[in-house]
Structure 1
Amino acid sequence: MVQSTTASTRRFGLIYFLFSALLLLPMLAAAAADPGFEKWKREFRKQALSEGITAETFDRAFKGIDSPDQWVLDKASFQPEFKAPAWQYFDNRITKYAVKRGREKKQELQPWLDKIDKRFGVNPNILLAIWSMESSFGAILDNTNVMRSVVRSLATLAYADPKRKKFGTSQLLAALKILQSGDIDESHLTGSWAGAMGHTQFIPTSYQAYAVDMDGDGKRDIWNSVPDALATAASLLNKNGWRTGETWGYEVTIPEHKLPAGKLKISEWEKLGVNRVRGQKFPRPDDIAELKVPAGRGGPAFLVLHNFYVIKRYNNSDRYALAVGILADQIGGAEPLTKDWKRPFTKLDQDEVMELQTKLKEKGFYDGEVDGKAGEGTRKAILKFEESAGVELQGFPSKEVLELLRKK
């Protein structure tokens, strides 16, 4: 009898605890919400409705979003400790994996690439290179550490980042209009911390300006349809003046004497001693070109043409446009550059960088991805390892460091 009473008491206590917990859930949720964010959301809702967003679209988009995303704010405020040297930027983007994967995708998607080329006149190799640069051929789209809710990310910037308030607000309104159009639903409207979306990483306003339904399913789906994504990239380049049948630029050799800045005809550059590598001829001597030496005179040199500047409309960076052009050429079968980037160490290939990252991880120095890309996280890990090994601190992904790791 005593045992029965005790069991009943325990059951009653458990039921009471569970009931109390259920009653507390709404209060806990309310406590987790950000009152300031909720106030901002009410004000922004009025603005959105005044600009044609329906109440149903807004409420559906913001369901469950009651606070800013701290991860977005951390990304927005992050300042790299150093500007990546040229060798690091290009080594991490023009890899044998990217070239191999680009060629495989070209073969797999050839019918679609031909249709996109016919419609927009943009070199398919350029589109494949952009796809590689922007999302590693779509690999990042499944990475929840990188891809988040576009609505929450942009709302975070609009609410909590004074420097990006205007950007966040305009992009968020555009994102809501994308939802309202039915091209994608809110559960699949994902992107980077700054709202870049899909295989080819378009911010919402750029999506509105250039998005294409290439596969004919009635939706401009750059998240799930590779033809739509690549055609959207082609649309951007086409509308910004891409010249069909022309290249972006050429690798060249330069003389020792000083050369002028600015743009000249290729024939004029030739008179100054600038020539194509491997004895090749320039097909159009009257083209206007500009000389670029991203690693200084000791590194590779390029004459860049009109299409180089069109690529910069995708990302306004000389390094980006050069990487896209060089990678595109190699996907198309071109040989690697004749001149290597200046670097103060012996270079590793991509497989060796992955081995280096693996060994650093095994020894507790590295907690990032083993991806063959020697970014800031890898260099910090190398510095920690070098410090523990009592050698000169350099932080370079070098053969010397890999050999030392193998011995340790």
Structure 2
Amino acid sequence: MSSVGFPMRRTALSALVSCALLQVPAVALAADAAFAACLAGLRAEAVEKGVAVATFDAHTAGLVPDIEVVGFLDAQPEFVTPIWDYMAGLVDAERIADGRALLSQWAPVLARVEAEYAVDAATVVAVWGVESNYGRNFGERPLLGSLSTLSCFGRRQAFFRGEFFTALKILEEGHVAPERLAGSWAGAFGHTQFMPSTFMRLAVDFDGDGRRDLIDSVPDALASTAHFLARAGWRSGQPWGFEVRLPRGLDTAGSGRRNKRPMAEWRARGLTRSDGSALPAGDLAAGLLLPAGREGPAFLVTRNFDALYSYNAAESYALAIAHLSDRLRGGAAFAAPWPTDDPGLSRAERRELQLLLIARGHDIGAADGMIGARTREALRRVQAELGLSVDGRAGQRVLNVLRAAAAR
């Protein structure tokens, strides 16, 4: 962590943040004061990193801390959501249908992208679908507010300072209008949600307008995504992997995407494709991925899966993109069920669940398919009323009980 002009120790700032989250006015004011002092220190560091003083001053004037983002650091859905819930919401009938329509709509651009970067259209569109629901959900938090807050409070401050300074450079170079630079709480933005540093390294101007614009240019976004995957090691013509069937008694110790072995070795150990057919011949290296243990779907994954993983460093995330890309090509759902007696809900089913909650008098806002705090609280109340396990989770069991109750 840099000490340039930084007036308080990180522990003191973290204490202020924790109190601010309790919404105590006096402490919130103290957090504001600490934030202002932190920004003053960041000004000199930003200039050292190549940001013009005028740029820093213009874009930080009036910034206030967005303390809520600090709480999201340890609550990313890829790591806290059951895999069957995560996959059910990301790879559903709506996203598949929308993706196939966009494959057709953007076919000429995608053909040029594939020719340039050797990444197939279905994979690029699958990233688009998972990252922003094909441009429908960019995120609404002003990037400078989020990144400046994370530069001053919480853990990983050094990382977020780098992203903050790079976001200022993006504005300085004129790639994105200031009022358009909004995105996720962590600073990702655009159709395929690049972090600012990733943008600077890998974003491309594919529509030829002189700007690299991932927000208002679909061609730029699709090409930049393919460029990212190509640089991450994507190999054209190689599958990301596929679902497999495990033989009885297989020792799965040491499984994982990193522990790759030749396909011939997996064949010798008795693995087959999920339909029972033989694994492909050759020495293609693959690791055995068991995202829900050996009782759930099993996969052999290649280095192309690792390229997808590098986009967001979560195996559930990479699997969602991989599976969505297969479905966009006409592939089937996984053959093996998830090891749960209460599967997850598609977005259409989540909206239905919310409508049923609203009909019972619960004020949860719009039925948008997003399971937020108010929906979870309403679910806990309903689960208690109906004699179900009280966990606030939106699954098939509570949906079916609510359907039956509404039909009576």
Q: TM-score range by the shorter chain?
A: 0.7 to 0.9
Matches within 5 A, 1:102-117: 102-117=99-114
Contact 1:276-1:282 within 8 A present in 2 as well: yes
Contact 1:357-1:378 within 8 A present in 2 as well: yes
Q: Distance in 1 between matches of 2:375 and 2:329?
A: 30
Task: Determine the structure 2 residue equivalent to 1:137.
Answer: 134
SS of the aligned residue for 2:305 comes to: helix
Give the deviation of 1:130 after TM superposition. Answer: 1.0
User: Which residue identity is paired with 2:113?
Assistant: I
Q: Distance in 1 between matches of 2:62 and 2:299?
A: 51
Task: Say if 2:304 is the partner of 1:303.
Answer: no
User: Which residue identity is paired with 1:37?
Assistant: F
Give the deviation of 1:294 after TM superposition. Answer: 1.2
**1:40 is matched with which residue: 33, 38, 41?**
38
Q: Distance in 2 between matches of 1:37 and 1:330?
A: 46
Q: Distance in 2 between matches of 1:133 and 1:369?
A: 22
Matches within 5 A, 1:246-261: 246-260=238-252, 261=254
Cα distance per residue 1:93-142 (max 9 Å; x no partner): 1111111111011011001110110000012111111111111111112x
User: Which residue identity is paired with 2:136?
Assistant: A
TM-score normalised by length of structure 2:
0.84
SS of the aligned residue for 1:252 comes to: strand
**2:202 is matched with which residue: 206, 210, 234?**
210
Give the deviation of 1:172 after TM superposition. Answer: 0.8
In structure 2, the CA distance between the partners of 1:73 and 1:396, relative to structure 1 (3 Å rule), is closer
Give the deviation of 1:364 after TM superposition. Answer: 3.9
Task: Determine the structure 2 residue equivalent to 1:402.
Answer: 402
In structure 2, the CA distance between the partners of 1:391 and 1:88, relative to structure 1 (3 Å rule), is closer
Task: Say if 2:151 is the partner of 1:154.
Answer: no
Q: Distance in 2 between matches of 1:311 and 1:153?
A: 26
Task: Say if 2:342 is the partner of 1:345.
Answer: yes
In structure 2, the CA distance between the partners of 1:354 and 1:33, relative to structure 1 (3 Å rule), is closer
Q: Distance in 1 between matches of 2:314 and 2:366?
A: 26
Give the deviation of 1:372 after TM superposition. Answer: 4.0
Contact 1:357-1:366 within 8 A present in 2 as well: no
User: Which residue identity is paired with 1:206?
Assistant: T
User: Which residue identity is paired with 2:68?
Assistant: W
User: Which residue identity is paired with 2:144?
Assistant: V
In structure 2, the CA distance between the partners of 1:353 and 1:79, relative to structure 1 (3 Å rule), is closer
Contact 1:374-1:397 within 8 A present in 2 as well: no
Matches within 5 A, 1:7-86: 34-65=32-63, 67-76=64-73, 83-86=80-83
Instruction: Indicate the larger mover: 396-405 or 202-211.
Output: 396-405
TM-score normalised by length of structure 1:
0.84
CA RMSD in angstroms comes to 2.5
Contact 2:85-2:344 within 8 A present in 1 as well: no
Task: Say if 2:177 is the partner of 1:189.
Answer: no
**1:277 is matched with which residue: 271, 274, 280?**
274
In structure 2, the CA distance between the partners of 1:57 and 1:132, relative to structure 1 (3 Å rule), is same
Give the deviation of 1:300 after TM superposition. Answer: 1.2
Q: Distance in 2 between matches of 1:187 and 1:316?
A: 29
Q: Distance in 2 between matches of 1:216 and 1:273?
A: 52
How many percent of aligned residue pairs carry the same amino acid? Answer: 36
Q: What residue ranges of structure 1 are gaps of 5+ in the alignment? A: 1-30
Matches within 5 A, 1:346-365: 350-365=347-362
Task: Determine the structure 1 residue equivalent to 2:14.
Answer: none
- Point out the structure with max Rg over C-alpha: 1
Give the deviation of 1:199 after TM superposition. Answer: 1.0
Q: Distance in 1 between matches of 2:343 and 2:46?
A: 55
Instruction: Indicate the larger mover: 164-173 or 384-393.
Output: 384-393
SS of the aligned residue for 1:290 comes to: strand
Give the deviation of 1:209 after TM superposition. Answer: 1.0
**2:315 is matched with which residue: 291, 315, 318?**
318
Q: Distance in 2 between matches of 1:47 and 1:374?
A: 40
In structure 2, the CA distance between the partners of 1:204 and 1:391, relative to structure 1 (3 Å rule), is closer
In structure 2, the CA distance between the partners of 1:327 and 1:368, relative to structure 1 (3 Å rule), is farther
In structure 2, the CA distance between the partners of 1:130 and 1:376, relative to structure 1 (3 Å rule), is farther
Q: Distance in 2 between matches of 1:356 and 1:257?
A: 40
Q: Distance in 2 between matches of 1:345 and 1:311?
A: 28
Cα distance per residue 1:299-352 (max 9 Å; x no partner): 211111110111111111111111111110001111212222222136655433
Q: Distance in 1 between matches of 2:81 and 2:317?
A: 13
SS of the aligned residue for 2:275 comes to: helix
Contact 2:264-2:282 within 8 A present in 1 as well: yes
Number of corresponding residues: 371
Q: Distance in 2 between matches of 1:76 and 1:248?
A: 29
Contact 2:240-2:305 within 8 A present in 1 as well: yes
Instruction: Indicate the larger mover: 53-62 or 110-119.
Output: 53-62
SS of the aligned residue for 2:310 comes to: coil
User: Which residue identity is paired with 2:288?
Assistant: L
User: Which residue identity is paired with 1:154?
Assistant: L
Give the deviation of 1:402 after TM superposition. Answer: 3.3
Task: Determine the structure 1 residue equivalent to 2:263.
Answer: 266
Q: Distance in 1 between matches of 2:289 and 2:66?
A: 40
Task: Determine the structure 1 residue equivalent to 2:4.
Answer: none
Task: Say if 2:217 is the partner of 1:219.
Answer: no
